[in-house]
Amino acid sequence: MKLVRTVADLRADLAERSGRVGLVPTMGYLHEGHLSLLRRAREECDVVVMSLFVNPRQFGPNEDFEAYPRDEERDTRLAREAGVDVLFAPSIEEVYPDGFSTTIHVAGVSEGLCGAHRPGHFDGVATIVCKLFNMARPDVAYFGQKDAQQVAVIRRLVRDLDIPVEIAVCPTVREPDGLAMSSRNAYLSPEERQRALALSRALRAAEEVVASGERDGEAVLAAARAALGDLEPEYLELRSADDLSPVERVNGSTLLAVAAKVGRARLIDNVVLEAE
């Protein structure tokens, strides 16, 4: 595995390789969710590039950029073991040199849900992902379904700007007890981790009522809310899985998305409810 830190070195390295290039963008502190993306990229591509960059522009001023967990040594080892060919770990100055002035704003799908609670977050995501696409020029890029709104923003970005990359989305990876894997789970104390289980429990409760025939949005949300217990969500919403437009009934593929603060961790999770 080659470790590169500049765009010039990344391009020079990739120029010497041939075949289908897969990019797995990450902010590091790898967990099974990231590893599932790397494994799929390894299966489907000739060249696997992983980026490792904690992107300051997607954190708000009062968010956890400084505290975000980092362990480059461990990430490097895990990336090597997962068969990554090129690890791109640039500095902040390499990505945002003096004078950097461009922001990409994807309207519509970036509004509501996390967008309503994290102003500027999806501008930061769209900008860095667009840059990474231009830097690595992948044929395919891999993202996790856990960040469903991020996926919708990136799909829209790619369509709107005619970026020649295929977006592959991999299922959310969960701990055996249901907690969706996240680098931010590292913030949870043992007691908070137990409380955090309410998120996946709420999604399962919704799945169960939909499986038993419920289609009314309010009733599905009520089942999920009851399973959340005393955990107050930042949002708990049903959206069309296609374009994230709000829906009142569960029809076709419907996204149920939830976010809540547990201790200092802001956690998100979602499920796609399938109804005929």
H/E element, 253: strand 252-262
Q: Using CB under 6 A, which of 55, 76, 110, 149 touches ligand PAF?
A: 55
Which residue's CB is nearer to ligand PAF, number 90 or number 217?
90
**Binding range to ligand PAF, per CB under 6 A, among 6-14, 22-30, 204-212, 248-256:** 22-30
Task: Compute the least distance from the CB of residue 275 to ligand PAF, in Å.
Answer: 28
Q: Using CB under 6 A, which of 58, 172, 254, 270 touches ligand PAF?
A: 58
In the residue annotation, 117 being an active-site residue is answered as no
The 3-state secondary structure of 118-129, one letter per residue: CCCHHHHHHHHH
- How many whole angstroms separate alpha carbon 28 and alpha carbon 74? 9
Contact in structure between 220 and 209 (CB atoms under 8 Å)? yes
Structure tokens at 240: 């069309």
Q: Using CB under 6 A, which of 128, 196, 203, 257 touches ligand PAF?
A: 128
- How many whole angstroms separate alpha carbon 118 and alpha carbon 139? 30
Q: Using CB under 6 A, which of 45, 79, 129, 262 touches ligand PAF?
A: 129
Q: Using CB under 6 A, which of 10, 21, 22, 25 touches ligand PAF?
A: 25
Residues 132-161 that bind ligand PAF (CB under 6 A): 147, 150
State whether residue 246 is helix, strand or coil.
Answer: strand
- How many whole angstroms separate alpha carbon 265 and alpha carbon 260? 8
Q: Is there binding between residue 22 and ligand PAF (CB under 6 A)?
A: no
**Binding range to ligand PAF, per CB under 6 A, among 38-46, 67-75, 125-133, 239-247:** 125-133
Task: Compute the least distance from the CB of residue 60 to ligand PAF, in Å.
Answer: 14
DSSP letters spanning 129-194: HHHHHHHH--SEEEEEGGGHHHHHHHHHHHHHTT---EEEEEPPPB-TTSPBP-GGGGG--HHHHH
**Binding range to ligand PAF, per CB under 6 A, among 25-33, 74-82, 204-212, 216-224:** 25-33
State whether residue 257 is helix, strand or coil.
Answer: strand
Question: Which residue in the list 31, 34, 117, 121 is annotated as catalytic?
Answer: 34
Residues with a catalytic annotation lie at 34
By CB under 6 A, name the binding residues for ligand PAF: 25-27, 55, 58, 125, 128-129, 147, 150
